[in-house]
Copies of this chain bind each other. A is one copy, B any other.
Amino acid sequence: MDAKRVFEEFLTKKNLRMTYQRQVILNLFLQEQRHLSPEELYDMVKVHDPSIGQATVYRTLKLLCEAGIAREVEFGDGVMRYEPEYGRAHHDHIICTDCGDKVEVYDPEIEALQEKMAEREGFRLTHHKMYLYGICKKCQKRRRR
Contacts and interface: CB of A to CB of B under 8 A. Distances in A.
Oligomeric state, in number of copies?
2
A132 B114 contact: yes
Interface stretch (A32-40, A45-53, A117-125): A117-125
Question: Chain A, interface size: which category?
Answer: 20 to 34
Interface stretch (A15-23, A56-64, A134-142): A134-142
Given A127-B133, A128-B133, A107 B103 contact: no
A97 B76 CA distance: 21
A74 interface: yes
A84 to B, nearest CB: 20
A129 B118 CA distance: 16
Nearest to A132: B128
